[in-house]
Structure 1
Amino acid sequence: MKRLFNNYINTFGGLSKEIWWLALIMLVNRAGTMVVPFLSLYLTTNLNFTVSDVGWIMSAFGLGSVVGSWLGGKLTDVIGYYKVMMLSLFTTGLAFIGLQYLQTFNIICLGIFITMILADTFRPAAFVAMSAYSKTENKTRSVTLIRLAINLGFSAGPAIGGIIITNVGYNGLFWLDGITCIAAAFLLIRVLNPKKAKVLDEYKNSNPKSAYSDMPFMIFILAMVLFGIVFLQYFSTMPIYYKNIHLLNEVEIGLLLGLSGLVIFLLEMPIIKWLETKSYSKITLMIQGAILLAISFLVVIVFSWTGVLVIGILLMTFAEMVMFPFSNAFALDRSKRGNQGEYMALYSIAFSISHIFGHNAGMQMTDTLGYNNTWLVMVFLSVVCIILLQWLKHAIKPKINTQLPKKIL
């Protein structure tokens, strides 16, 4: 057991001190965004908005995320990742505190839109910072560590938020959200000051290529949008399926979704470390992730046994563990062709678009087509994603063979 534990700890070896600090900042920041899981409940119970109103407010949430990601990429290329992250954390904290004072529908839509713009300017800047503070051979594992921090933050945030709502009320939630974001900004200033931090791979292209004119990268982004739409069903339509078809209660659904987080925490870093020792290319691994996601829906369609839900969630979890670290690392590698902020903004925007369309499309399809037909549509979208990634692999192979290390393929 001791040897197993030591082997697990060793998978985290070789990462820079700055990456660990960045992971801590992400943990504090994501644990602090505890308003988000309770936003729809707050709007319907405290402010008495209808479900339809909440739908429009959540659309403003998604649109703000898209604009924020785009703006964050532009600002990162102009003023640098450090200033963008610091300003984003500080202003987001103030915005969260201010949200509790908004009451009318139009003002809340505007407030949520602005808050998400401020919050999501952080993401492209954080990706570029992660690249700068990582050695080339450690980028995928650096991404994995950041993902672990984000998952831990998302796990802890709702639990803490529920306690605060019960004992203090929603106002306390907004205040704590704001304070934690501002605290993360001060932590950033303290531990990641560029004058003190050791930058390992800060890359500047003297003749940058626009990400929008990089056709293979745009195909990659489309594949990520499709993967995101399918993946997000596990956090919107699938829980309803668990409840209505398999008659699971909220505790059982929570345990099932919690299993995914536990597996990620225990296995993602060792799996990534092992895969990096193999000769698989990044795109090949992304294709395998999309295949696992498609199979996770197929097994649910084919088998009516309730236990198959565990198999489905595990397949989805392994798909996530393979797809996200290697797709992120691929985007970071590709970004050296142009302005890194612009490239990483597009990568962030891909998942913002998935949020805008994925949840709503899944809900509408389950209502009109039924669950199994909806899952078949998700399998089809996964297959399209696989085809796009396969095309991408062949499209860039000749260029990478002559210009970049083979392992990036």
Structure 2
Amino acid sequence: MKTLFRNYINTFGGLSREVWWLALITLINRAGTMVIPFLSLYLTKSLHFNLADVGWIMTAFGLGSVVGSWIGGKLTDKIGFYKVMVFSLLSTGLLFIFLQFLTTFTTFCIGIFLVMLIADMFRPAMFVALSSYSKLENKTRSVTLIRLAINLGFSAGPAIGGIIITTLSYGGLFWVDGITCIVAALVLINVLHPKKSKTLDNIKVDSPQSAYHDRSFLIFLCAMVVFGIVFLQYFSTMPLYYKDAHHLNELEIGILLGMNGFLIFVFEMPLIKWLENSTFTKTGLMLFGAILTGLSFLILNLTSWAGVLIIGMLLMTFGEMIAFPFSNAFAMDRAKKGNQGEYMALYSISFSIAHIFGHNAGLQMVAGFGFDKTWYFTTILAGLCVFLLFLLKQRMRIKPV
């Protein structure tokens, strides 16, 4: 047992001090992100919007994310990642607190758009910071550590959020979200000032290539958009499926979603360490992750047994565990050819686009055709993602640069 624990701890070795600080800041920030998993429930139960309205609100959510990621990438290349990260965290905290006071469809659409615009300026800046503070051989594990922080916070967040909802109200979630963003900003200001930090990978390209001309990267982005649409169903339509089809309450939904984060916290770093030392390529691993995620939806239609929800969550969790770290590492590797902010902004935007279409399409399909047909369609989308990643894998064999 001691040997197993020692081996687990050793998988975290060699990561820089700055990466650990980034992970702590991310943990504080994500620990309070309780509103997002319950947003569809909040909008239907507390504000009494119908599913079509919720779908359009989620589209506003995604549009804000796209604009914020694009602006964040531009600002990161111009003024640096540090200023962008501080501004984003502080402003997002205030906006989250304010969001709870918006109760009409129009004002909530505008409010969630502004929240996500400011919040997602953080993402490309954080990716560039992570790349700068990581040695080349540690970048995938550095990404994995950040994901562990996200999922550790997320494993506690929904469970605590479910308790807050059942004992107090949804309003408390907005206060927690806002306060934790502000706390994360204060920690960032105090521990990660650029003058005190050591840059390990300072990439300077004399003639940077535009990410828009990198065909392999564009195929990769298309695959990530489709994967994002599939994956995001677990945060919009899936909670409704748990509630309406299997009659779970908010606390049970929170625990089931929290299981995802807990499993990632325990297993992802050792898994990534093992896969990094294997002969598998990044594109091949992303492809396998997409297959597992697609299967997590297909099996839901095979039986009405409640235990299938746990099996589906396990398949999705391991699919996510493999696909996301290696997709992120792939994007950071390609970013060395051009402006890092532009590359990482486009990577972030791929998931923002998924937010625009994924939530709305899933909710509209559930409202119009039911859960079963929605899960079949989602499985087909996962198959399209697998096909695109297969094309990328073949292209990388011929033209790896």
Aligned counterparts of 2:340 and 2:64: Cα–Cα separation in 1: 21
Matches within 5 A, 1:101-112: 101-102=101-102, 105-112=105-112
The answer to whether the 8 A contact 2:232-2:358 is kept is yes
Aligned partner of residue 278 in structure 1, secondary structure: coil
Aligned partner of residue 315 in structure 1, secondary structure: helix
Aligned partner of residue 97 in structure 1, secondary structure: helix
Structure 2 residue ranges without an equivalent (≥5): none
State the TM-score, normalized to the length of structure 1: 0.88
Corresponding residue for 2:323? 323
Higher mean C-alpha displacement, 71-80 vs 160-169: 160-169
Higher mean C-alpha displacement, 257-266 vs 193-202: 257-266
Corresponding residue for 1:189? 189
Aligned counterparts of 1:166 and 1:280: Cα–Cα separation in 2: 46
Corresponding residue for 1:386? 386
Superposed CA offset, 1:182-223 (max 9, x none): 221121121111111111112121111111221211111110
Structure 1 residue 362 displacement after superposition:
2.2
Aligned partner of residue 217 in structure 1, secondary structure: helix
Structure 1 position 63 matched with structure 2 position 53? no
Aligned counterparts of 1:367 and 1:54: Cα–Cα separation in 2: 11
Letter of the structure 1 residue corresponding to residue 65 of structure 2: S
More RCO (CA 8 Å, sep 6+): 2
Q: 1:171 to 1:313 in 2, by over 3 A?
A: closer
Aligned counterparts of 2:182 and 2:5: Cα–Cα separation in 1: 35
Superposed CA offset, 1:76-111 (max 9, x none): 111111111111112222322333454554344323
Higher mean C-alpha displacement, 74-83 vs 244-253: 244-253
Aligned counterparts of 1:132 and 1:100: Cα–Cα separation in 2: 37
Aligned counterparts of 1:52 and 1:399: Cα–Cα separation in 2: 44
Aligned partner of residue 203 in structure 2, secondary structure: coil
Letter of the structure 2 residue corresponding to residue 268 of structure 1: E
Aligned counterparts of 1:104 and 1:257: Cα–Cα separation in 2: 28
Matches within 5 A, 1:9-408: 9-39=9-39, 52-102=52-102, 105-161=105-161, 173-246=173-246, 252-303=252-303, 305-400=305-400
Aligned counterparts of 2:229 and 2:359: Cα–Cα separation in 1: 8
Superposed CA offset, 1:357-382 (max 9, x none): 22222233344444443333222222
Aligned counterparts of 2:252 and 2:368: Cα–Cα separation in 1: 27
Superposed CA offset, 1:114-160 (max 9, x none): 22111110001001111111111111111111011111222333444
Letter of the structure 1 residue corresponding to residue 145 of structure 2: L
Aligned partner of residue 286 in structure 1, secondary structure: helix
Letter of the structure 2 residue corresponding to residue 345 of structure 1: A
Letter of the structure 1 residue corresponding to residue 272 of structure 2: I
Letter of the structure 1 residue corresponding to residue 139 of structure 2: K
Superposed CA offset, 1:6-43 (max 9, x none): 11111111111111100010111122333434555655
What value does the CA root-mean-square deviation take over the aligned residues? 2.6
Q: 1:391 to 1:254 in 2, by over 3 A?
A: same
Aligned counterparts of 1:50 and 1:320: Cα–Cα separation in 2: 30
Structure 1 residue 391 displacement after superposition:
1.2
Higher mean C-alpha displacement, 320-329 vs 159-168: 159-168
Same amino acid, percent of matched pairs: 67
Aligned counterparts of 2:169 and 2:296: Cα–Cα separation in 1: 39
The answer to whether the 8 A contact 2:155-2:262 is kept is no
Aligned counterparts of 1:152 and 1:84: Cα–Cα separation in 2: 24
Aligned partner of residue 323 in structure 1, secondary structure: helix
Aligned partner of residue 337 in structure 1, secondary structure: coil
Aligned counterparts of 1:174 and 1:367: Cα–Cα separation in 2: 27
Aligned counterparts of 1:396 and 1:203: Cα–Cα separation in 2: 23
Aligned partner of residue 208 in structure 2, secondary structure: coil
Aligned counterparts of 1:316 and 1:192: Cα–Cα separation in 2: 34
Letter of the structure 1 residue corresponding to residue 215 of structure 2: M
Q: 1:54 to 1:374 in 2, by over 3 A?
A: closer
The answer to whether the 8 A contact 2:163-2:251 is kept is no
State the TM-score, normalized to the length of structure 2: 0.90
Aligned counterparts of 1:114 and 1:171: Cα–Cα separation in 2: 19
Structure 1 residue ranges without an equivalent (≥5): 404-409
Q: 1:240 to 1:113 in 2, by over 3 A?
A: closer
How many matched pairs? Answer: 401
Letter of the structure 2 residue corresponding to residue 283 of structure 1: T
